[in-house]
């Protein structure tokens, strides 16, 4: 171990150390400019040795402390908390650590803490502990509603992270008025013995006004907003210098028949397809991806901005791009009829869909025709019907694409790939941006065509880089934990579905097919997702469990994902027959962690805003009835999702007043002691919208007359029930985080 590595570890181990980013750590160590190379190398060596961890904000800390367990806090309404260990701890046997209210101190949900185990055990043997130190706050900035009391200003923070208001000093700071949405930065976090204190830093606007919900999510999650002036200036210069006639060093494909297929409202187009078939029956697929690396060079202002953002963020009616729009929607976007630079992957398949060869090239294309998903299948299904602007060559290309994609899809699932069918929720708006409803987005074969070709390109590129022994940011999906899969097997059995070999991908996929369209479909798909690990970015060779592939990466969306951009740079060098220059392994580990975190932040932001929009819509329907499906069963009640409006709410156990219900955790069922009535996952019930609290993100439901309705095939929109009470059925609704599927372009 070098002297610099020893110095770094000594600082990280000191009691006074608070996690900081690498640049601040270098300052603490008084590293000079000449010593930065040695510092970075030492940090990479320590990371590669597994001695440090990188937190959500790229802050560095030791992986463990003697006698203490690192983990993430999840508080509950009683003031107690559970800590989910960050690493495997034998003493816990896979369980969480219970923290009593007096031992939580000022830790909040999402904080990373160090816990000391005590000798106390709860019923069932669960270990208890004491929080010794908050290592890193989940956030210091929160959004809430301002109000005044007793001549002082207070903020009710959104959600349930703080049960009591936060004091922000004298009234009217920054011109805030009661009922304004404001941003507050914490000065002192609340604990059981003292109130919280903060400073009001920004007034967003009147609660409920148009656009305020979006600003609330952006500020509460710390999403980036404006680009730096340096980055914008670089983008302008790239726009001025772009010359579509200069194809030097590129293979000219501008006369080939090439198409794009994207959502009808897409603004940037980053992938295009060409396909031919030779006399020997082999397929020759061309996947052409926007060459963002031509415009965004390593260590430039644009690159630093993109690396920091990690990903574009897609919110309802609002996008926060990773790159300035002059690039993302202009120079790099594969628009119809425009010459654009691309990175192309050419894959040869035999008649059975087996890969026979792969080549990469720096290319230039001109898209022949842009299609929306909705346009594609009617053309393929009606080959004799004339469509304006669709030539015979384009029609033939679409038909060939469909044939090859379905061949690849059958082959992929035959080899053990998994597909978990949990639909996305899409909000419906009127022309003024007011929510008029919501629906689940369902994909047809046109989406599957593009999905198969993007997967093929990602796999081909990853295999090429692995063959050349080039370190790169992989898209990895680790094997699921044995115990979690075993629990999933028992869960399925409780619903009446036997999964004999729960470690068999083929059996799991068959189960998914078996439940398609049935009441248990959503429950089993969610149960499967909960048993899986999260996919992430890493240079480690962990493979991709769901795809059943050893080598996989993200290459096809460099406009909106930074890992794709890093892979493009490597592929560009290979295409030019140059030796690709990759980051050091330790740097790739840090970069992968950062990109994984920004991706999860973006997904959380989208889920949060969708939830707010749905709650705002449901607040107009309090007192009405609707049909719902039970999507979660816990000891405290039933999570239900509306059939016509996919908003999720809670029927708290206190609202089940007709009997005392016991919770069966294996079969995920609530069973009445006297009536023996059961509430189970996937069951359809009739509920009353009892109360909506948008700020706390709560939708309280009640079962209508204690009855379960028959299956309905007619109109399921909420029905008026004017004389029902509207008070809340529960003071607190636990935040049940559920995985969700990615949008079409997140492959």
Cα separation, 358 vs 286, whole angstroms: 10
The predicted-structure confidence for 414-445, as pLDDT tens digits, reads as follows 999 998 766 778 889 888 888 888 887 878 89
Rounded to the nearest 10°, the torsion over CA 432, 433, 435, 441 is: 130
pLDDT of residue 736: 31
pLDDT for 730 beyond 80 = no
Residue 554 contacts residue 461 (beta carbons within 8 Å): no
90 and 145 housed in the same domain = no
Closest by Cα among 316, 388, 307, 268 to 564: 307
Closest by Cα among 231, 238, 362 to 303: 231
- Whole-number percent of the chain with pLDDT over 70: 93
pLDDT of residue 208: 87
Cα separation, 744 vs 271, whole angstroms: 12
Q: In 189-327, where do the E strands start and end?
A: 197-206, 251-253, 259-262, 271-277, 283-290, 313-315, 318-320
Residue 384 covered by a domain: yes
556 and 670 housed in the same domain = no
Give me the CATH number covering residue 117.
2.40.50.140
Find the length of the chain: 747
Segment 504-526 shows an average pLDDT of: 86
Segment 242-253 shows an average pLDDT of: 95
Owner of token pair 């029930």: 721
389 and 453 housed in the same domain = yes
Which tops the pLDDT comparison, 13 or 637?
637
Cα separation, 321 vs 226, whole angstroms: 10
181 and 80 housed in the same domain = no
Rounded to the nearest 10°, the torsion over CA 711, 713, 718, 723 is: -50
Closest by Cα among 531, 499, 494 to 513: 499
Give me the CATH number covering residue 189.
2.40.50.700
Segment 699-722 shows an average pLDDT of: 58
Residue 111 contacts residue 134 (beta carbons within 8 Å): yes
Give me the CATH number covering residue 28.
1.10.10.10
Cα separation, 56 vs 600, whole angstroms: 10
Owner of token pair 């999702």: 641
The predicted-structure confidence for 118-146, as pLDDT tens digits, reads as follows 988 887 788 999 998 888 888 999 999 99
488 and 466 housed in the same domain = no
Which of 161-170, 392-401, 560-569 shows the lowest per-residue confidence on average (mean pLDDT)?
161-170
Owner of token pair 């949990």: 422
Could you say which of 79, 106, 136 is where a domain stops?
136
Q: Which helix (DSSP H) or strand (DSSP E) does residue 346 occupy?
A: strand 339-349
The predicted-structure confidence for 537-591, as pLDDT tens digits, reads as follows 999 999 999 999 999 999 999 999 999 999 999 999 999 999 998 888 888 998 9
pLDDT for 531 beyond 80 = yes
Residue 728 covered by a domain: no
12 and 97 housed in the same domain = no
Pairing of strands 624-634, 259-262: unpaired
pLDDT for 633 beyond 70 = yes
Structure tokens at 46: 């320590």
Residue 62 contacts residue 21 (beta carbons within 8 Å): no
Residue 739 covered by a domain: no
Residue 695 contacts residue 602 (beta carbons within 8 Å): no
Closest by Cα among 111, 12, 114, 103 to 70: 114
Cα separation, 475 vs 566, whole angstroms: 12
Question: What's the distance, CA 213 to chain centroid?
Answer: 19
115 and 200 housed in the same domain = no
Cα separation, 533 vs 301, whole angstroms: 34
pLDDT category at 728 given cuts 50, 70, 90 is very low
The predicted-structure confidence for 72-117, as pLDDT tens digits, reads as follows 999 887 889 999 887 777 778 767 899 999 999 999 988 989 899 9
Backbone angles phi, psi at 699, to 5 degrees: -125, 110
Cα separation, 505 vs 543, whole angstroms: 15
Cα separation, 520 vs 528, whole angstroms: 12
Please state the pTM of the whole predicted model: 0.82
Relative orientation angle of helices 301-309 and 585-618, to the nearest 10 degrees: 60
Question: What's the distance, CA 603 to chain centroid?
Answer: 3
Q: Which helix (DSSP H) or strand (DSSP E) does residue 484 occupy?
A: helix 482-494
pLDDT of residue 714: 38
pLDDT for 739 beyond 60 = no
566 and 709 housed in the same domain = no
Neighbouring C-alpha atoms within 13 Å toward the C-beta of 273: 30
Which tops the pLDDT comparison, 40 or 744?
40
Residue 745 covered by a domain: no
Could you say which of 114, 136, 158 is where a domain stops?
136
506 and 400 housed in the same domain = no
Cα separation, 737 vs 666, whole angstroms: 20
Relative orientation angle of helices 36-48 and 585-618, to the nearest 10 degrees: 70
pLDDT of residue 56: 62
Segment 487-505 shows an average pLDDT of: 87
Range of the domain at 243: 229-475+542-608
The predicted-structure confidence for 184-216, as pLDDT tens digits, reads as follows 999 999 988 889 999 999 999 999 888 999 999
pLDDT for 731 beyond 60 = no
pLDDT of residue 48: 80
520 and 663 housed in the same domain = no
418 and 362 housed in the same domain = yes
Residue 730 covered by a domain: no
pLDDT of residue 718: 52
Q: In 17-95, where do the E strands start and end?
A: 52-54, 60-62, 69-75, 81-85
Could you say which of 175, 207, 239 is where a domain stops?
207
What is residue 366's three-state secondary structure?
strand
Q: Give me the number of domains the chain comprises.
A: 6
574 and 655 housed in the same domain = no
Pairing of strands 355-366, 251-253: parallel
Structure tokens at 266: 């897409």
Residue 458 covered by a domain: yes
pLDDT for 452 beyond 70 = yes
């Amino acid at each position: 171990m070098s002297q610099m590595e020893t110095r770094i570890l000594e600082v990280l181990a000191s009691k006074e150390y608070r996690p900081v980013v690498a640049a601040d750590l270098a300052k603490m160590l008084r590293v000079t400019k000449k010593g930065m190379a040695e510092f970075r190398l030492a940090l990479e060596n320590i990371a590669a040795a597994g001695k440090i961890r990188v937190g959500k904000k790229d802050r560095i800390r030791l992986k463990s402390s003697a006698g203490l367990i690192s983990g993430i806090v999840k508080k509950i309404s009683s003031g107690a908390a559970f800590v989910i260990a960050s690493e495997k701890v034998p003493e816990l046997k896979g369980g969480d650590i219970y923290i009593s209210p007096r031992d939580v101190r000022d830790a909040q949900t999402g904080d990373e803490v160090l816990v000391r185990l005590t000798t106390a055990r709860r019923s069932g043997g669960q270990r208890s502990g004491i929080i010794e130190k908050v290592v890193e706050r989940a956030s210091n900035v929160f959004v809430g509603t301002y109000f005044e009391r007793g001549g002082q200003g207070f903020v009710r923070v959104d959600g349930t992270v703080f049960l009591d208001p936060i004091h922000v000093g004298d009234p009217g700071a920054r011109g805030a008025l009661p009922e304004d949405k404001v941003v507050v930065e914490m000065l002192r976090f609340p604990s059981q013995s003292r109130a919280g204190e903060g400073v009001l830093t920004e007034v967003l606007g009147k609660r409920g006004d148009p656009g305020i919900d979006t600003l609330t999510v952006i500020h509460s999650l710390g999403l980036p907003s404006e680009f730096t002036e340096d980055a914008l200036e670089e983008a302008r210069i790239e726009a001025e210098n772009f010359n579509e006639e200069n194809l030097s060093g590129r293979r000219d494909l501008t006369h080939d028949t090439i198409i794009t297929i994207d959502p009808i409202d897409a603004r940037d187009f980053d992938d295009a397809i060409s396909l031919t078939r030779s006399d020997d029956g082999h397929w020759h697929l061309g996947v052409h991806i926007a060459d963002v690396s031509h415009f965004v060079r390593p260590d430039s202002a644009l690159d630093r901005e993109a690396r920091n953002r990690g990903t574009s963020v897609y919110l309802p009616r609002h996008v926060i791009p990773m790159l300035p729009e002059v690039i993302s929607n202009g120079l790099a976007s594969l628009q119809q009829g425009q010459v654009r630079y691309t990175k192309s992957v050419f894959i040869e398949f035999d008649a059975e869909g087996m890969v026979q060869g792969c080549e990469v090239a720096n290319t230039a294309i001109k898209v022949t025709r842009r299609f929306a998903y909705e346009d594609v299948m009617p053309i393929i299904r009606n080959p004799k019907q004339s469509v304006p602007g669709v030539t015979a060559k384009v029609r033939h290309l679409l038909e060939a694409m469909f044939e090859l994609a379905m061949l690849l899809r059958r082959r992929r699932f035959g080899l053990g790939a998994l597909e978990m069918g949990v639909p996305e929720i899409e909000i419906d708006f009127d022309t003024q941006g007011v929510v008029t409803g919501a629906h689940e987005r369902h994909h047809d074969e046109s989406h599957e065509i593009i999905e198969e070709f993007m997967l093929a390109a990602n796999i081909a590129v990853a295999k090429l880089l692995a063959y050349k022994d080039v370190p790169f940011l992989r898209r990895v999906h680790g094997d699921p934990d044995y115990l979690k899969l075993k629990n999933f097997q028992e869960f399925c059995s409780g619903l009446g579905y036997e999964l004999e070999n729960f470690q068999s991908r083929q059996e799991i996929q068959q189960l998914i097919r078996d439940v398609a369209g049935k009441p248990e479909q959503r429950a089993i798909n969610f149960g499967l997702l909960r048993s899986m690990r999260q996919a992430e970015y890493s240079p480690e060779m962990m493979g991709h469990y769901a795809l059943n592939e050893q080598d996989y990466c993200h290459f096809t969306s460099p406009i909106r994902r930074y890992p794709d951009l890093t892979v493009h740079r490597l592929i560009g060098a290979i295409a030019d027959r140059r030796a690709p220059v990759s980051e050091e392994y330790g740097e790739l580990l840090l970069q992968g962690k950062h990109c994984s975190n920004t991706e999860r932040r973006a997904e959380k932001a989208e889920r949060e805003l969708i939830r707010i929009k749905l709650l705002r819509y449901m607040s107009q329907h309090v007192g009405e009835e609707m049909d719902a499906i039970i999507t979660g069963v816990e000891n405290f009640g039933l999570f239900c999702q509306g059939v016509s409006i996919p908003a999720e709410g809670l029927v708290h156990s206190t609202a089940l007043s007709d009997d005392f219900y016991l919770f069966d955790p294996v079969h995920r069922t609530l069973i009445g002691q006297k009536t023996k009535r059961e509430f189970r996952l996937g069951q359809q019930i009739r509920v009353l919208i009892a109360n909506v609290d948008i700020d706390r993100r709560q939708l309280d439901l009640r079962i209508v007359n204690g009855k379960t309705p028959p299956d309905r095939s007619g109109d399921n929109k909420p029905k008026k029930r004017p004389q029902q009470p509207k008070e809340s059925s529960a003071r607190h609704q636990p935040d049940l985080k559920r995985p969700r599927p990615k949008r079409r372009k997140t492959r």
